[in-house]
Structure 1
C-alpha cells in the first residue's frame, strides 16, 4: 500500500476530526488520485478506437444508409447510437433462383409488406427485431398501452458488439445474418425439391458452400446479396440445377429508410380496386377496428394549379428500363408506362409519370429507382409481375421492380410450343385453392398466365393465317406484338401504382362495338388495363379492330383519380361514381372459384355480353379447325405445327365456354353504396332467359351430338414432336400420338363437374327462394336438360348408334349423377340427390325400352355400352336406397 493511500485511510477514519476537515481531506485525495484515473480512461478509450480502426483497416467499404466493411470473411456493419431503436424496412428478394419451381430471380418474397424492423441493444449485443405493425391505437391512450403489452417483437438475429469508436459507432459482424435463413427461403426450397406433393422435402442450408456475393449502400437503402447453397437430400431436383445435390439460390436483402415524415394516407373504398395496407386500431373513437389505406406513391403539387386545374408534381413517378431489356421491346414498354399520364391528369397532375432508360451509373438496387427488368427463366413461372415495396405505416409505395419473362415475349413472336390440357382452361378458374386465390389477390401471377398468353397468340396467328394476313411460319406482325407488349406493361405498371385486377371491365364495351376503333380508342377494348383480356379477334368477314387496349381505360382514369387526387373530400365524391358507365369493377375473388357468382366477372373474356362473345369465339374456332393443315403447313414444315395450333385453339375454345357456367343460378353483383347516383341493389338475378341461353350454349358447343367434330383427314395430320432433348417434351400426356378422346372428354367432364358442383346447386335453390322458382333454372330443369342432350341417341325410339366420344361423355355423366346418389360431395343439397335419383330412374326406363325387342340394330360397341349403363344404374339405385335406409 502506497503512502497516499495510507494517509487517506488514516486521516478519514479518525473520529476526532470535524466533518468540514474530513471533506477537505477527501477533496485533496481526489485531486491526488484523479490523474491516474483519467489516464486509465483515456487508455481504455484509445484501445477501443484502436480496435475499431484495426478491424476496418484494409476492408472493402460500402457507405450509405448503413455502412458495411468486408474483411477476412466477416461482414461488419457500423451502427450509431442514433440508429438504435429507429424503425426501417427489411425486404427479401430472390436475386438468382433456379429458373423453375417458383424460384425465379427478381421475385419478392414478402410482396407489398416488407418487415418493419429495428436494432435494439441489450448489454453487449445488438438484436435485429421484427416489430408488429398491424395493430395500433391512438398514442397516449389506455388502448395504446394495451397494444404494447399484447403484441411483442420477434428477435430475428443477434450479434456481439465487436468494437466502439470515440463517436459511439459500433461494429457488429452480421455475416451469419445474411448467410443464413433470415428470409425463410429454406421453406420454399424444401417444397420445390419435395417428391411428395404438399409435403416439404429434405434440404438444409450448407453454410460452408454459402457466402456474401455483393454489398452496396445508397443514401436511402443498403443491400446485401448472399449466395446460399442448400444440400438436397431428395432423390432429384429440377433440371435447371447443375448438381442436384447442391441447390444454389441467391437472396437479395434490402434495408431501407422510412420516410421521416409519414405520408398522409388515403382511406380505401370497396367500390374501387386498390391493394391495401390494413391496420387494426383499438381506439374506441374509431368507427370500426380496421383502418384500410390504399397503396400509392406520394404525389404532391409543386405550386398552384393552372387554368385547366392541373399542377406539376414535386417529384414525378419515374420508371427506369434496365438495359437487359431487348431493344425491340423498349419503345412499346416506355409507351405502356407513360400511357398512365392520362389517368393522372384526371387526378389533377400533368407530367406525373414518365419512362427512362436506367443510367449506366445507377443500380436497380437503389430504392430511388423503380425499374422494369428482364428475366430469362428456363421454366416460365408468371409471364410478368409487378411487385412493390410499401411503407407499412401509411401505404406509401417506396419502390417497384417489375419483371418480364423472355419466354412470354418469345411466344408472342413465334409459335407457342408447350402442350396444354384444354380442360385446365375451365379447372383453373373454378377449382382454384384458397392459397392460390390469396396469391392472386396480391397480383401474383402463376404459370397459367404464361400459358394463356401463349395460346392466345397461337389463336391470333391461326386467325391471321386463315384470313390470308400471315404466312405459315412467319413471325407475328409488329402491330400485334407492340399492342401486346404495351398492354402487359400498362398492366404491371398499374400494379405498382397500387391497383388490383379488374375482371369486370370488359363488360363496359358492347359486343357490337368491339371492333369499332372510334369507340375502343378512347375507352378501351376493356375499360381497365388491369383486366385479363382475350385478344380481340373479329369474326370471319369482319375487319379487325384493336387486339388490346392502346392506352388506359375509363376505369383506370377513375380509380387513379380517386387514389391520387390531393383532396380527401374530392376522393369521397369520386368513389360515389361506381354506377357510371365505364367504371365496372370486380376482382380475383369475384372471378374465380366455385363461389364466383357473377357471369360478368371473368378472366379472359370480352364484351358486355360474355355469352354472345363466347359463342362468337367458339364459332370462329370451330370454323378454323377443319382447315388447320391447309393454313398452317408449308413445304418442309413439321406436322406438329398443326398439333400445336389445335392444342392452343381448343384450349381457347374451352375458355370461351367457361363463363357460361356462372349464369346458372347466377347473380349480378354490385358494390354501390346506399345513396350513390344511379345506385343498384347488391345482387340482381340473371334473367331466366339468359340462364337458359347459357345452358343451351354449353349443350350446343360441348354436350350435343355434333358439338365437336374433327374431320379424319385433319386428325391424321396431327404430327408428333420428335425432338428428344432437355427442355422439350416430345409426348402429349405421355403419348407420342395425340390423345384426342382424352382431350375432348376432359373439357366436357370439367363443364359437367362445374354444373353439378355442390355450391352451384346450393345457389340454384337459394335463387328459387330469393327471386322465385319461376325466375331461375331449377335443379330438375338443369339435370333434365343436360341428361337429354348427352343421351340424345338413346332418348327417343328407336335410338341410334353412339360414337366413341359420345360413349365416353355418357359414362362421365353417369359417374356424376350416380355420385350424387351414392356418394354426394359435402354440401350437396338433399333435393339435388333426390332429383338425381329420379333422373337415373327415367334414364333406366329409356334404356330398357331401347334394348327391348324389337330393338334397333345397334352395333356391338353401342349395345355393350347401353347394357352396361343400364346395369350400373340398377346397382346405383339399389346402393343409394340402402344408404338412405
Structure 2
C-alpha cells in the first residue's frame, strides 16, 4: 500500500513537470510566432530627412553648378549652397528679357548695378552681406586690420532661414524666391528714373512667378515673370499712375574669381570710367581717395612672344554677341563699328582682341540676358539714341559684362544729322531716303562710339577743339584725320565744309589718334613692372609725353555746369565764331533748297523734321559762341607741368564773342523762310522763339563774366566792358535811331527783367517780368534740349513744363538739382556750379545802366517812329519804376 502511494506521487510529479514543460514550450512557440508575424507585417521605416522632405512628392527641377545648386520646387526657388562657398564673393544682377513698356524696363539693360555680396551661416540663418569694396588697406598691418573690423563691417542686407542641410551635411538649403520675384529693390529690373523723372514701381507678388533655372560653371540664372504697377512724375507733374507693367527678367548669380585681375590706377588726364577707392590712413598720412580704371582682363596667351613684339591672341578675348533681330543691313554696319577697335589693339600687340558672334541658334546654354554674355541688342523705340553701359568687379575694376543698346529710331537721327550737316556738299542725302552706304557708315560710327564706352572710355568732349577750323575744309587733312581726334567726342559730321569743298571727308575717323592712345594706356601689359607703383610711373610718363599736345587732351563732359567752350557737344574746330559762320552759311543754303530737294512729302512731315533740326543746329552755333563770354578753360593737370588748372578765355575772344552773338540776334529772320514754313501747320515763328531763348540766356551771363574777370585780374573782359557792350547791343536801335525789330524788343524786355531784380537788392523796385539766378555757368532748359544733356531723355518732351517749374520755384529746384542728381558718381566728377554772390557787383552796373537807359529814352522818344514810341514809353515807365522814381 505504501509502495502504491509512493508510485502515485511519482507519477503525479512527472505529469505536472511534463505539463509545465509543455506550457513553457507552447508559450515560447506562441511568442516566436507573434514576433515573426510582426516583422512580416511591418518592416521598420527609416527616418525621412528634412532635406528629402523639401522635395518629396513635389514638382522639382534641379540646376547644379560647382559652387551652387538651384532647386525649383512648386514655384519656389531654393538655393543649395555648399559651406565651402560661404564667404565667396558674388554679383547678383537682373536684366529685362521681355517687356510691355521699354521706357521703364528695356530689354538687355541692367538699370541697377549688380549687388556685390557674399553669404555666411549664422546659427539657423543664412545672411547675405553687401560688400564695402571701396575701402582699401594694408592687410598685413594688424592695427589697421582691427580698425577695419570695427568700423567697416559688410552690412547684412537679407536673411534666409535654413530649411535643411544636405544629406552629407556639406551644404544648406534656403528659400530665396523673394529675390527673384521683385522683393529686393536694389537689384530691380525696373528703372527708378533720375531726377526730375521719378519712377515708382510696386511689384504684385500674386501675379509674379519664377519660370526656368539654369546653371553653369561659375554662375546660375533664374527667369521670372513679374507684374508691376508703375507711376511716373516729372517734377510735380504726374505723367501716369498705376500703369500696368509686365516683364520677364533674368537674374544672374555670378561667382567672382579668387584670383583677381591686376588693377590699374587711373589718371585724371585720360577719360576712363572708374571704380572709386579710399585708402585708409597709416600713422603718417590721412585718407587717400583714388580710383581704378575700368577695363577688360586682356592678357597675352604667349607672354614671351608678346615680349618679342609678335602679335598674340589674348587668353580671353572681348566677345560680343549680335542680336538677330537687327535688319541684315544694320548687322553689317554694327560688326564694322565694333571690329574697328581691333586696329587699336593690334598697335599694342593683340590680334583678334575684339570679336563679334551671332546669337547662337542651337546652343541651349546661351542666354543674352545672362551676366556672362555681352550683347548688342535691338530696342524698338521712338528714342533716337544708343548706349553702351558696362558692369565691373568692384574690387579691381575688371569689366565683366557690357551691353550696346541700339534704339530703332536711331536711323531717323542719322538721317536728319546727315541732311542738316552735310547736304550742302553731299547730294546723295538730299531726300527722304538715305543711301544705304551713308546709313551704314553713320551707324558704324554710332556703334563704335558706344563700343568705346564698353571698353572703358568716357566722352572726350574737348577732342574736336584740337583741329583748326579751316583744316576741316582741307581734303588731305580730313581724309587723314576726319572731323576729330576722338570718336568719343560728339563731333558728328563736317558742317564746316562748304559746297565747293569737293573731296573733303564729312565723317569722323574710324578711330582717332586719342582713341588709340587711350587704348594703349588702358590695355598695354607691363609685365616687367616690379610693383603697382612702378607700373603707375610708367603709365604716368606716357601721359606726360603728350602734355601740351591738343590732339591728346582730355576734355571731360560738362553737364551740371558748363565753363569750358572747348569741351562742348556738337561742335567742331578751335574757333566757334569761325565754325559758326561756316555752319550758318550752310544752313541758309540748305534751307533755301529744302522744297526743291524734298519731294513726295505731301504733309511736309519730313521737311518739318529737317527744319526743326536746322533751328536746333543754328541754336548750337550761337550757344557755342555764348560759352566764350565769361568762359574759363579747364585742364586736367599734374603738379610740375606747365599747363594751368584753369584759365579765363582771353579778353579779345570774349569781346568778339559778345559782338558776334548780338549780331546774330539781329539777323535771325532767315529762319522764317516763307516758301518752306508756309507748308507747316500753324506755329510760332522759330526766329522769335530762338531770340527769346538766347535773350534770356544773355541776361544771366554777368554771373559768368563776374567769375572770369575775377580770376583774370587786370587783363580781363571786365564787368564794366561787358555791361557797356550789353547796353550798346540791346539798345542799338535807340542809339542809332533805327526802327525797332522783334529782337530789340525781346532783348530790352529781358534786360529790364533781370535789372529789376538786381537793383531791388539795393533798394530799387522789383518788377515781376523776369527770372534769374546767381549761379554761374548753369545750363538752361534750352541748352539741355539743344545739347542732349538730359540723361533721362525726357526733357525735350516736357521742356515747357520744366520752364514753368523754373519760373515758379527757381533754378535751384529745376535745372541745378536735376543736373547734379543725374550726373552723380560719373567719371572724375563734375565741376560744381559756382555761386558768385560774394564778388557780385552787378547791382552797381545795372543801376548805372538803368540811369543811362532812362536818359537815352527821354532823349529819343520825341523823335522815334510813331509805331516804336509806345514800346519805348513802356520801357521808360518800367525803368522809372525800377529806379523807384
Which TM-score applies when normalising by structure 1?
Answer: 0.78
Q: 1:574 to 1:635 in 2, by over 3 A?
A: closer
CA distance in structure 2 between the aligned counterparts of 1:286 and 1:253, rounded to whole angstroms? 43
SS of 2:588's equivalent? helix
Matched residue, 1:128: 128
SS of 1:402's equivalent? strand
Q: 1:582 to 1:199 in 2, by over 3 A?
A: closer
Determine if contact 1:801/1:858 at 8 Å carries over to the other structure: no
CA distance in structure 2 between the aligned counterparts of 1:235 and 1:578, rounded to whole angstroms? 47
How large is the Cα RMSD of the aligned pairs?
3.2
Determine if contact 1:293/1:394 at 8 Å carries over to the other structure: yes
Determine if contact 1:500/1:587 at 8 Å carries over to the other structure: no
SS of 2:185's equivalent? coil
Matched residue, 2:12: none
Q: Out of 375, 378, 383, which is 2:379 matched to?
A: 375
Q: 1:817 to 1:225 in 2, by over 3 A?
A: farther
Deviations 1:324-343 (A, max 9, x none): 22211112211211211222
Q: Out of 700, 704, 711, which is 1:767 matched to?
A: 711
Matched residue, 1:667: 632
SS of 2:841's equivalent? helix
Counterparts of residues 46-445 of structure 1 (less than 5 Å): 47-51=49-53, 54=56, 58-59=60-61, 61=63, 63=65, 66-97=68-99, 99=101, 101-111=103-113, 114-141=114-141, 142-167=143-168, 168-184=170-186, 204-231=202-229, 245-284=243-282, 289-303=288-302, 304-305=304-305, 308=309, 310-360=311-361, 361=363, 362-377=366-381, 379-380=382-383, 383-413=385-415
Q: 1:367 to 1:56 in 2, by over 3 A?
A: farther
Determine if contact 1:524/1:552 at 8 Å carries over to the other structure: no
1:503 aligns with 2:461: yes
Determine if contact 2:483/2:508 at 8 Å carries over to the other structure: yes
CA distance in structure 2 between the aligned counterparts of 1:820 and 1:630, rounded to whole angstroms? 50
CA distance in structure 2 between the aligned counterparts of 1:398 and 1:592, rounded to whole angstroms? 28
Q: 1:72 to 1:49 in 2, by over 3 A?
A: closer
Matched residue, 2:866: 858
CA distance in structure 2 between the aligned counterparts of 1:288 and 1:561, rounded to whole angstroms? 31
Deviation (angstroms), 1:136: 3.0
Q: Which consecutive unaligned segments of at least 5 residues does structure 1 have?
A: 1-40, 414-453, 721-735, 880-885
Deviation (angstroms), 1:191: 6.5
1:621 aligns with 2:631: no
Q: 1:185 to 1:256 in 2, by over 3 A?
A: closer
Matched residue, 2:29: none
CA distance in structure 2 between the aligned counterparts of 1:164 and 1:56, rounded to whole angstroms? 18
CA distance in structure 2 between the aligned counterparts of 1:395 and 1:574, rounded to whole angstroms? 21
Matched residue, 2:760: 822
CA distance in structure 1 between the aligned counterparts of 2:640 and 2:87, rounded to whole angstroms? 48
Deviations 1:431-481 (A, max 9, x none): xxxxxxxxxxxxxxxxxxxxxxx5x344147546xx6444543x1123431
Counterparts of residues 422-821 of structure 1 (less than 5 Å): 456-460=417-421, 463=424, 468-473=427-432, 475-516=433-474, 518-537=476-495, 538-543=497-502, 545-567=504-526, 568=535, 570-579=538-547, 581=549, 583-589=551-557, 591-594=558-561, 596-632=562-598, 634=599, 637-675=602-640, 679-701=642-664, 703-704=665-666, 706-710=667-671, 713-714=674-675, 716-720=677-681, 736-740=682-686, 743-756=689-702, 758=703, 760-769=704-713, 772=714, 775-796=715-736, 799-821=737-759
CA distance in structure 2 between the aligned counterparts of 1:839 and 1:875, rounded to whole angstroms? 14
Q: 1:85 to 1:185 in 2, by over 3 A?
A: closer
Q: 1:292 to 1:470 in 2, by over 3 A?
A: closer
Q: 1:850 to 1:523 in 2, by over 3 A?
A: same
Determine if contact 1:527/1:582 at 8 Å carries over to the other structure: no
Deviations 1:264-303 (A, max 9, x none): 1111111111111122121427786224211111111222
Deviation (angstroms), 1:776: 2.5
Deviations 1:241-275 (A, max 9, x none): 99955333444432112122011111111111111
Deviation (angstroms), 1:867: 0.7
Q: 1:747 to 1:65 in 2, by over 3 A?
A: farther
Q: 1:753 to 1:140 in 2, by over 3 A?
A: same
Which TM-score applies when normalising by structure 2?
Answer: 0.78
Aligned residues: 749
CA distance in structure 2 between the aligned counterparts of 1:189 and 1:110, rounded to whole angstroms? 7
Deviation (angstroms), 1:512: 2.1
545-554 or 325-334: bigger deviation: 545-554
CA distance in structure 2 between the aligned counterparts of 1:844 and 1:187, rounded to whole angstroms? 62
Matched residue, 1:38: none
1:838 aligns with 2:841: no
SS of 1:59's equivalent? strand
CA distance in structure 1 between the aligned counterparts of 2:486 and 2:110, rounded to whole angstroms? 25
Determine if contact 2:96/2:189 at 8 Å carries over to the other structure: no
Determine if contact 1:99/1:105 at 8 Å carries over to the other structure: no
168-177 or 799-808: bigger deviation: 799-808
Determine if contact 2:462/2:556 at 8 Å carries over to the other structure: no
Deviation (angstroms), 1:614: 2.1
Matched residue, 1:13: none
SS of 2:159's equivalent? strand
Q: 1:715 to 1:848 in 2, by over 3 A?
A: farther
